[in-house]
Structure 1
Amino acid sequence: MSLEFCGSRALAHVEQQVALGPRPPGSEASRQVRHYLREQLLGSGCRVTEQPFLAHTPLGTVPMTNLLGTLPGDREKVLLLAAHYDTLRDFLGADDGASGVGALLELARVLSRERPACQVTFAFLDGEEAMCDWGPRDGLYGSRCLVQCLSEFRQLQRVRAAIVLDMIGDRELRVTRELTSSASLRYLVWQEARRQGVGSLFRGPAAQIEDDHLPFLEAGVASALLTGFHEAPGGVRPRYWHTAEDTLDKLCPESLQAVGRVVEGVLHRLDLDARNLTV
């Protein structure tokens, strides 16, 4: 099996997002990002839909929008890939947000050529970031809304696995062993990384991280988070997290390609058989 994911292509998508400036929910830059996502997904043969919703936040009701791209396949066997496209109001979010989005767009291009048997849904989520202070009622707005909608329309049981990408482009990337992720899916990811010879990049510290995979886990969907974020003595890593230093120069195509190809390989395996995954 040849792997086609290109880190340079993914990084080019990151550059397009960062050029728009900060992309908080409801902003003109947020709308422009969605337009870019739509055009790229349509070019990859995806069916594109928007999911507008009203998020009840500590600042009041805020309009937000998820954007979904779907590659046709077996509707009873859905593999979902997700990343958040929003940023905090004052930061460019090259790694925190844009890196995962860039990887998803490149995966859409690659998978449109490979045509897996299962249906693949690419979920670009709004409102991952907290509006005020992170907590149970502030943050993860887009993923919670998506899970609720899938459940209400009885589509959630069709999702065999959900993989969330967030902060995967750092030049010194070490993917965190995220402990709330489904053990069965996490094992597949680490096994695939070793098979591809990039296991050293997946030897980050063990940590429990709150991110967009949690609503899927809580709903009973096997889910995993791939991220380089973690807390460390003296502060968080990467150090530029949630600062004005989260800029393009901190990223490299090699990190994006390593993670992207591991996800590509995992998707090939899940496409063959996802029956043994457990939450």
Structure 2
Amino acid sequence: MEFPGIWTICIIICAFGCRSVSNFQHVSSLRVAQQNHRPKVVDQQQFWELNNKLGDIEAVHNVLSKILVERVVGTPNHAMVREYIVNYMKNLGWTVDEHEFFDDTPLDRLKFTNIIAKVNPNAKRYLTLACHYDSKLMENFVGATDSAVPCAIMMNIATTLKEQFKSLHDSEISLQYIFFDGEEAFVEWNAKDSIYGARQLAKKWQAEHELDKIDLMILLDLLGAPKPTFYSYFPETEGWYYQMADIESRLGAAGQLVEHAHNSATIQHQKRNQGYFQPYSIRMQIEDDHIPFLRRDVRILHLIPTPFPEVWHTPSDDLRAIDFAAVTNLNKIIGIFLCEYLHIGSASTDH
């Protein structure tokens, strides 16, 4: 991903729950269903059950032990990590497709592989959670926040909520994961040397009319550093952004968000005054895997901190950069969000 060279930022203070409506005059029945979709807040019993399950991040550590290596496209490590992710998701019972293609890079013509995993491959609509799994071509760069931790969070949620997700196997709306390949530039970020996998997949799915099936794409990037701050970047998805903020608030009020000094082994549950999800909208374009989908009218929730972590694109973005308290909190927030969006159990809300 790339930060804009010159910022033109408009900050808008929004009330929680605000949400814009699409300007399309003619929308398909899928679009209507997507626009009318509302979350269902989990009841108290399920809230505590999910909190306890998602607080166990053993799978995060296990995944990181396998993928926290240099994994540049075209290298043996990259192939090893791809195979590990594919087998991991298959072993959970998900249907996995590998979207393979060749593309020209400044270095050579290379083979890329996007990994698409679905709970129910026959669903009419999908909530899509995405990240990239390749790492930047840089000496001693393993990309912990960029984006090994997002991969590990997604895979941990799939593991810890395996029983909850069983209800999605025959549902009309289900869950889809995308692990993008080739997000990083090989030489210098530009329109051709970046987001190889996202560009190719968005083009392919547009031709196949698969994009209409995506309710919402949540793109995770640069996660795992201490005290991230998030903003709503797109008016079309502000309501869903504030749903995440509300989940964080509920967890905080219950004393179930954890904190510890960075790299300290001591973790404590406590109420937190400063949230990750800020009550602001920022109109700013960050170049990332969502761009080809955004340009094709897919609704995007970009979960990336602003400012970027200090270790961004440096060799210091390794295991030592990870704050596992922040990872635990994000694991809980994202996991509960998935359940509430997909109506897994629970009572309704008027959000």
TM over 0.5, shorter chain: yes
8 Å CA contact 1:66, 1:124 repeated in 2? yes
Distance, in Å, in 2 between the alignment partners of 1:255 and 1:158 is: 32
Letter in 2 for 1:258: N
Deviation at 1:140, TM superposition (A): 1.3
8 Å CA contact 1:176, 1:204 repeated in 2? no
For residues 210-265 of structure 1, the C-alpha deviation after alignment (integer angstroms, 9 at most, x for no partner) is 212222222111111112352xxxxxx42211111111011132212211221112
8 Å CA contact 1:175, 1:204 repeated in 2? no
Matched residue, 1:184: 239
Letter in 2 for 1:160: D
Deviation at 1:272, TM superposition (A): 3.1
Question: Equivalent residue of 1:196, what SS?
Answer: helix
Letter in 2 for 1:133: E
Matched residue, 1:233: none
Work out which structure has the larger RCO, using CA pairs closer than 8 Å and 6 or more positions apart in sequence.
2
Distance, in Å, in 2 between the alignment partners of 1:77 and 1:111 is: 20
8 Å CA contact 1:169, 1:256 repeated in 2? yes
Alignment of structure 1 residues 263-274 onto 2, 5 Å: 263-272=334-343
Distance, in Å, in 2 between the alignment partners of 1:203 and 1:52 is: 38
Question: Equivalent residue of 1:51, what SS?
Answer: strand
Q: 1:92 aligns with which of 136, 142, 145?
A: 142
Letter in 1 for 2:249: R
Distance, in Å, in 2 between the alignment partners of 1:109 and 1:148 is: 31
Matched residue, 2:90: 42
Deviation at 1:180, TM superposition (A): 4.0
8 Å CA contact 1:11, 1:256 repeated in 2? no
Question: Equivalent residue of 1:120, what SS?
Answer: strand
Distance, in Å, in 1 between the alignment partners of 2:290 and 2:94 is: 23
Alignment of structure 1 residues 31-110 onto 2, 5 Å: 31-72=79-120, 75-89=123-137, 90=139, 91-110=141-160
Distance, in Å, in 1 between the alignment partners of 2:232 and 2:130 is: 16
Matched, 1:200 2:275: yes
Matched, 1:217 2:294: yes
Distance, in Å, in 2 between the alignment partners of 1:167 and 1:188 is: 21
Question: Equivalent residue of 2:275, what SS?
Answer: helix
Letter in 1 for 2:209: R
Distance, in Å, in 2 between the alignment partners of 1:224 and 1:238 is: 19
Q: Select the structure that is richer in strand.
A: 1
Question: Equivalent residue of 1:228, what SS?
Answer: coil
Distance, in Å, in 2 between the alignment partners of 1:216 and 1:190 is: 24
Letter in 2 for 1:35: E
Q: 1:15 to 1:220 in 2, by over 3 A?
A: same
8 Å CA contact 1:71, 1:112 repeated in 2? no
8 Å CA contact 1:178, 1:208 repeated in 2? no
Distance, in Å, in 2 between the alignment partners of 1:11 and 1:208 is: 32
Matched residue, 1:133: 188
Matched, 1:113 2:190: no
Unmatched tracts of structure 2, length 5 or more: 1-45, 258-273, 345-351
8 Å CA contact 1:175, 1:226 repeated in 2? no
Distance, in Å, in 1 between the alignment partners of 2:214 and 2:325 is: 30
Distance, in Å, in 2 between the alignment partners of 1:242 and 1:228 is: 14
Letter in 2 for 1:173: K
Letter in 2 for 1:70: K
Among the aligned pairs, what percent are the same residue?
25
Matched, 1:14 2:64: yes
For residues 173-195 of structure 1, the C-alpha deviation after alignment (integer angstroms, 9 at most, x for no partner) is 31321524732332222222222
Matched residue, 1:234: none
For residues 15-73 of structure 1, the C-alpha deviation after alignment (integer angstroms, 9 at most, x for no partner) is 2211xx31111111010001111221122111111111122333343211111211117
Distance, in Å, in 2 between the alignment partners of 1:257 and 1:240 is: 20
TM normalised by structure 1 equals 0.86
Distance, in Å, in 2 between the alignment partners of 1:270 and 1:248 is: 32
Distance, in Å, in 1 between the alignment partners of 2:73 and 2:67 is: 14
Deviation at 1:202, TM superposition (A): 2.5
Matched, 1:173 2:249: no
Distance, in Å, in 1 between the alignment partners of 2:285 and 2:251 is: 25
Residues paired across the two proteins, number: 264
Distance, in Å, in 1 between the alignment partners of 2:121 and 2:177 is: 13
Distance, in Å, in 1 between the alignment partners of 2:212 and 2:74 is: 31
Question: Equivalent residue of 1:191, what SS?
Answer: helix
Deviation at 1:209, TM superposition (A): 2.0
TM normalised by structure 2 equals 0.69
Deviation at 1:12, TM superposition (A): 2.7
Distance, in Å, in 2 between the alignment partners of 1:11 and 1:180 is: 32
8 Å CA contact 2:244, 2:277 repeated in 1? no
Q: 1:213 to 1:260 in 2, by over 3 A?
A: farther
